[in-house]
Structures are given as structure tokens and as C-alpha cells.
Homo-oligomer: A and B are copies of this chain.
Amino acid sequence: MNATSTSELMNTLGSQAKAASALMAKAGAATKVKALRELARLLRENVAPLQVENAKDLERARAAGLAEPMVDRLKLTPKVLETCAEGCEQLAAMPDIIGEIMGMKQQPSGIRVGQMRVPIGVFGMIYESRPNVTIEAASLSIKSGNACILRGGSEAIDSNRALAALVQQALVAAGLPADAVQLVPTTDRAAVGQLIAMPQYVDVIIPRGGKGLIERISAEAKVPVIKHLDGNCHTYVDDPCDIAMAVKVADNAKTQKYSPCNATESLLVARGVASEFLPKIGAVYAAKGVEMRGCPEALAILADVPGASTRPATEQDWAEEYLAPVVSVKIVDGVDEAIAHINRYSSHHTEAILTTDHIHAQRFLREVDSASVMVNASTRFADGFEYGLGAEIGISTDKFHARGPVGVEGLTSLKYVVLGEGEIRT
């Protein structure tokens, strides 16, 4: 596809999305529920045909020599599709927050002023690999009354086309515009450049993928971006704390899964509990093959743990998102140093304090400058499902607009509503 035709294509998608967004914004709650339930039904009914399309992507991926774990991420198994269908039904069952009016208060002039929750308008989503993201994004877009333009990875283009066709079928069945969810049909890379530079049509861009992709999009976008950069998450073991609980939670936060962005990458330990806590967690990590990169004081204690794989932490380690069986370990004076260290090195994603001290917990919650701050819980909980958002379109590490897991609410905006009886300004 040449540059002119890609540009024309994207303009067409944009203007269609904009037109559809006006209809979506005034769609009734029941209509959106109908579309979501219909989509769930279609996903279940079309497992076989979806797998036929998916097989084309899998074949192409294997022919290109993609590693098997990467091929796995592309697979639309019956289980993956059932999870997608259930996700649609869960969203359908949630209360509709569009049109909600908050804080209506009478002012001295007599007017009453409140805020109404409305959709953002049109969002563009750019993602890689897993085709089920197509359904997650589409269903959140429908529930939130937005229109969206989806740009999946070229490796999943056949699966994404088949899924997007079902989404449009569901929209039409509910009396909603098919253009409310459009997939960019070409794998031309120029389409991304166009999508992020159409402020007349697109209100926000949501990239999901590697850090490189997100940094490039943020730098070049002409519209706001909901960014999710890295997750260098910390767990701080305070003095005083419940040592047994701290071992259990620090274990889970690091080892329950290594690849998610909410896994703990750095363990801070208050000096007062280090000699009791570190040998215990060290033994757990050693048994699971987790390498520990420590400050000299931590290494001295860990030296006595049988089978522990340790090495000195460098300055770079404190800022690193490993996404692997590696953890950095630092002994700190207490809550002050822990907060200062986190605010310096963290990527502002998710941090937890394990403590029994009320004041320390309150200070940690208030002073740690991250999207999610936790007391006595595993950082692995930081996601939209666990937070009760129904689904998430991404996790924002920005402070602007949406912070942390972004669900339906993050895709909305508040406008002021003023009700009067003929008041004038004097």
C-alpha cells in the first residue's frame, strides 16, 4: 500500500470513528449490554472458524522462526476465546457509568453545578502479539461509549481481522454503528504514524507493548498518550513487621510469575529485621533459583544461605526491570530511606510496604509517588481485574488523566453540567 492510499485509509477510518463516536455517546446502557452479550455469543459460536484464521498467523509465525513461547501468545485456543467471551459478559453485567452526574451543588448565584461522566470520544490502540487484546479493547470501548481504531501486530493480522468482524457483527445486531470498532486492515507501518497524528479524529492513543514502541509513540504523537512504561516495583519489609507474612508476600510478589510488570524487582529490608527476615526469604528464593543482587550488608547476611545465587548490586540494578528470576536487595535504615529510595529509582508503577506499624503504613501510602501503593499485599495484585474494574485497557505510569490500571472510567471524561432557572451574571 503506498503512502497516499494509507493516508486516505487512515483519514477514512478517522472520520468514520468520529461519526460513530457521537452515536456511541448517546447509546443507551441496554443497547451496549446487548452488543457485549452478542459478542460473547458470537465468540463461542465461532471457535472453529476463528481457529482456521488463527492457524494462518501461527503458520506464518513458525515459518518466520518465531520462538515457541511467542507463537503460544498468538494462539486462540477454545480456553482463550471462552475467557474473552466471559470478559464481555462481565463488562455487560457492570453498572453503566456514562451519564452519571456527580457533585451537583447549588452556588450562591442560584445555579446548580455538577459534573457528568461522558466518553472521551475516539481512542486509538496500538498493540502487539496477543489477538485477544482486540476483544478486550473492543469490549471496553463499547461499554465506555467510545469509538476506537485498533492497530494490532502484523503477526496476528488474520486473527484480528476475524475477531474484529465478529465485533462489528455484534455492534450492528444491537443497532450500533459498525464503525464504532475498526481494525486497521493493513500491516503498513506508516498507518501507525498516521493514527497518532490525527487530533481532528482521535482523542487519545493507548500503546501496549515494549518500552521502545511506547517511547517512540509518545515522542511522535500529536494527541495525548496513556503510557505504560516499565514496572520496577518494590516491596519494602518494614521494622516492625510480621516476618512469616512478609516472607509469604515477598515470595509471591517476586516468584508467582516473573514476566508481569507488577512483579517485584527490588526488595528493601529494614535493618532491624534484616538478620531475621533475609535468611528466610533468601532460602525461598534460592530454592526457586532467583538470583539476588544485593548491597554489601545484604550480601553478608545472604552468604550463609545454602545454595543462594548472589552477586553485588550495581547502581543500574536499583533501576532495573528484570522480568526474570532476579531480584535486587537493599538494607535500609527504615521507612524514610525506603520511601526516598523508591521515589528515586522506581518507575512509579506499584510499591508495597509490609508492616505492622500504622504510622509507617500511612506515610508510605501518602509519600510514595507511584500509581499503586500497597500495605501488606503482593504487588502482583496491581491490575484491573483484581481492582474490580472489570477489565483493563492498560496500566498508566503517568499522573495525567488516568493513573494505574485503566478500565472503563479511564476512558471517560467529566463535563460540567449547569442547571438554572434563568439566572444571569451580574
- Say yes or no for A275: interface residue by CB 8 A criterion: no
Q: Are A107 and B249 in contact (CB under 8 A)?
A: no
Q: Are A399 and B252 in contact (CB under 8 A)?
A: no
Q: State which residues 364-378 of A face B: CB under 8 Å.
A: 365-367, 369-378
- Say yes or no for A330: interface residue by CB 8 A criterion: no
For residue A87, give the distance in angstroms from its CB to the closest CB of chain B: 16
**Stretch from A4-12, A308-316, A409-417 at the B interface:** A409-417
Instruction: Give Cα A107 to B404, complex, Å.
Output: 17
Chain B residues with Cβ below 8 Å from A99 are 366
Q: Are A366 and B116 in contact (CB under 8 A)?
A: yes
- Say yes or no for A14: interface residue by CB 8 A criterion: no
Chain B residues with Cβ below 8 Å from A376 are 419-423
- Say yes or no for A177: interface residue by CB 8 A criterion: no
Instruction: Give Cα A107 to B390, complex, Å.
Output: 11
Q: State which residues 223-262 of A face B: CB under 8 Å.
A: 224, 242, 245, 248-249, 251-253, 256
Q: Are A107 and B386 in contact (CB under 8 A)?
A: yes
Contact indicator per residue, chain A 18-47, by CB within 8 Å of chain B (1) or not (0) = 000010011000000000000000000000
Chain B residues with Cβ below 8 Å from A290 are none
Instruction: Give Cα A111 to B366, complex, Å.
Output: 18
- Say yes or no for A121: interface residue by CB 8 A criterion: yes
Chain B residues with Cβ below 8 Å from A416 are 371-373, 382, 387, 403-405
Q: Are B203 and A399 in contact (CB under 8 A)?
A: yes
- Say yes or no for A56: interface residue by CB 8 A criterion: no
Q: Are A387 and B420 in contact (CB under 8 A)?
A: no
- Say yes or no for A345: interface residue by CB 8 A criterion: no
- Say yes or no for A418: interface residue by CB 8 A criterion: yes
Contact indicator per residue, chain A 54-75, by CB within 8 Å of chain B (1) or not (0) = 0000000000000000000000
- Say yes or no for A211: interface residue by CB 8 A criterion: no
For residue A20, give the distance in angstroms from its CB to the closest CB of chain B: 14
- Say yes or no for A425: interface residue by CB 8 A criterion: yes
What are 7 A-B contacts defined by CB distance under 8 Å? A109-B386, A121-B369, A121-B399, A381-B420, A403-B413, A404-B416, A405-B416
Q: Which residues of A contact B (CB under 8 A)?
A: 22, 25-26, 99, 105, 107, 109, 111, 113, 116, 118, 120-121, 203-204, 224, 242, 245, 248-249, 251-253, 256, 343, 352, 354, 363, 365-367, 369-378, 380-382, 386-388, 398-401, 403-405, 413-426
Across chains A and B, which 8 residue pairs bring their CB atoms closest together, nearest first?
Answer: A377-B420, A252-B424, A380-B425, A245-B422, A374-B418, A401-B401, A372-B416, A399-B413
